[in-house]
Amino acid sequence: MIFCTCTNQDEARKIAMHLLQTKLAACINILPEVESLYLWQGEFETSVESKLLIKTQQEKVNDVISTIKLHHSYDVPEIQAVPVIAGNPDYFNWIDKVIS
């Protein structure tokens, strides 16, 4: 699972579609509005962003990260890959089938 915040829903949708079309992900959820609070260049910032929840295979993580960085508008986009330790085996098999 990879998490990524985007400027807005349009940017999130464009990145998601590119990842799906290139078979780097099987499914992507877009959370349309998340409030982000953070420090940027020594200043406290807040913004409303969209968040991607990207489902992919471990061996595709580096390609997903590279693709997001290429298409993202931020200088330093949030891209975090986290391991999924358990779940529905049928769902995992579906992911493998879709993007292999």
Q: What is the pLDDT of residue 71?
A: 97
Q: What is the pLDDT of residue 80?
A: 98
Q: What is the pLDDT of residue 100?
A: 86
Q: How confident is the model at residue 57 (pLDDT cuts 50, 70, 90)?
A: very high
**pLDDT tens, 2-41?**
999 999 999 999 999 999 999 999 999 999 999 999 999 9
CB 28 within 8 A of CB 17: no
**pLDDT tens, 66-92?**
999 999 999 999 999 999 999 999 999
CB 1 within 8 A of CB 81: yes
Contacts of 73 (CB under 8 A, 6+ apart): 6, 7, 11
